[in-house]
Structure 1
């Protein structure tokens, strides 16, 4: 009887402990102060679209890599060598190390002259140009070049002594042309025309002109890729947290 009573006391104590723990968590959750996100709606929307696009691309790359590995294991030695060459070429294309052609848009950023007697020649800054690139990517651009500079994942866009440098080359003064490859030119054109990005450029007295083209050739990225600052991170497998 004493043993049974002790067991009951232990179970009751354990239940009370769990209830108390749950109440403490609930109280802490309800009273926890959340840091206010100071970003505006446009910045949050753009960041969310970028993260979704990165996640989708990652899943696609994983599926393609698994398919390639499966095919590679079933091939002869000669076929394996050929597959490696094709994979290397494909990776070069994906990295922007080769010319690439296709349908798309030519977007011209040019001065909006309001008063030729008093208005200074319009300029844009690197931050606004980077914002525009992000907007194009979010709208469905697959490849982008600014003037003769191919944009890849590690391309820096910087302000240097009043000039904008893309990669390590100055793109000069306005007008500036962007070349965009996409499978849906009209979608990007519509998106840019209703986006707030046009208002941002208008504040700098710059206007956006868009023309659809059936054949555009983007230059290759011809600079050395420096991987010294690249960090390798572990990606959790599906089902892991």
Structure 2
């Protein structure tokens, strides 16, 4: 194999490794905390981790096939194919704005308390939000955005000093709009209205209303990913 071809295959291997790392990143590097989940939540987490493992195995298989395909191409073809793979990855991890049909969900307070003349809104905790996001993914969501924050496999939902943070930024004040792209918007809307999340949100003085939209625009994921090395290959 020519030296240039070996160099290209090396870059492909690096790119393939990055694809797997993107999928794995959400399961690594989190601080260890005491597990206070109930049996249902543990089972839900186990199913989710099994899905993640299956997806990782699929990504590894796809990466192996990608490397094999690159080895069979000329240098010019390798560059073109690599750029195409980068564009596909950017879209998959949310680095591009997307449009399509879907469902608009509004989270609002059922009633607002007035404490000493100050309006007190109910809180959307990380647990509530994570449960809702998990159910949306289970019900067929393709892409999700909360306010101006695109939700991807890299998006953390955390408690920071008693406040909910998404993508390391504060959860916006109520009412909050969640945009969901899906190829079955009516079905997803009906699922939401009959979901456990809606019941639990109601208990916490929060309302979920879902409405089908023919056209929704979701922002790109703002936090940078280090793909510059790949973009410079063909320049």
**TM more than 0.5:** yes
Among candidates 100, 103, 112, match of residue 101 of structure 2 = 103
Contact 1:50 1:138 in 2 (8 A): no
How far apart, in 2, do the equivalents of 1:46 and 1:65 lie? 29
| Alignment CA distance shift 1:97-1:139 (3 Å) | same
- 1:133 Cα offset (Å): 1.1
Q: Deviations over 1:87-125 (max 9, x none)?
A: 111111112122122222111101112888999432221
Q: Is the 8 A contact 2:193 2:210 kept in 1?
A: no
Q: 1:90 aligns with which of 80, 85, 88?
A: 88
CA distance in 2, matches of 1:117, 1:206: 18
The alignment's TM-score, normalised by the length of structure 1, stands at 0.67
Task: Give 3-state SS (helix, strand or coil) of 1:208's partner.
Answer: strand
Q: Highest CA radius of gyration, 1 or 2?
A: 1
What's the TM-score once normalised by structure 2's chain length? Answer: 0.69
1:174 equivalent in structure 2: 174
CA distance in 2, matches of 1:211, 1:48: 31
Output the aligned Cα RMSD: 2.9
Report the secondary structure of 1:88's partner residue: helix
Alignment of 1:128-167 (within 5 A): 128-167=128-167
CA contact (8 A) 2:143 2:180 kept: yes
Change (3 A) 1:183 1:177: same
C-alpha spacing 1:78/1:131, structure 2 compared with 1 (3 Å): same
Residues 216 and 164 (structure 1), Cα distance of their counterparts in 2 relative to 1, 3 Å cut = same
Is the 1:123–1:173 Cα contact (8 Å) retained in structure 2?
Answer: no
Structure 1 unaligned segments of length 5 or more: list them: 1-37, 227-241
Q: CA deviation at 1:209?
A: 0.6
Deviations, residues 27-54 of structure 1 (Å, cap 9, x unaligned): xxxxxxxxxxx96564255335423432
Query: Structure 1 residue 78: deviation in Å?
Result: 0.8
What is the match of residue 70 of structure 1? 68
What does residue 203 of structure 1 align with?
203
Shift of 1:224: 3.4
> Taking structure 1 as reference, are residues 115 and 84 closer, same or farther at Cα in structure 2, changes over 3 Å only?
closer
Q: How many residues align?
A: 190
1:147 Cα shift? 0.5
In 2, the alpha carbon distance for the partners of 1:189 and 1:49 equals 23
Asked whether the equivalents of residues 49 and 138 of structure 1 are also in contact (C-alpha less than 8 Å), the reply is: no
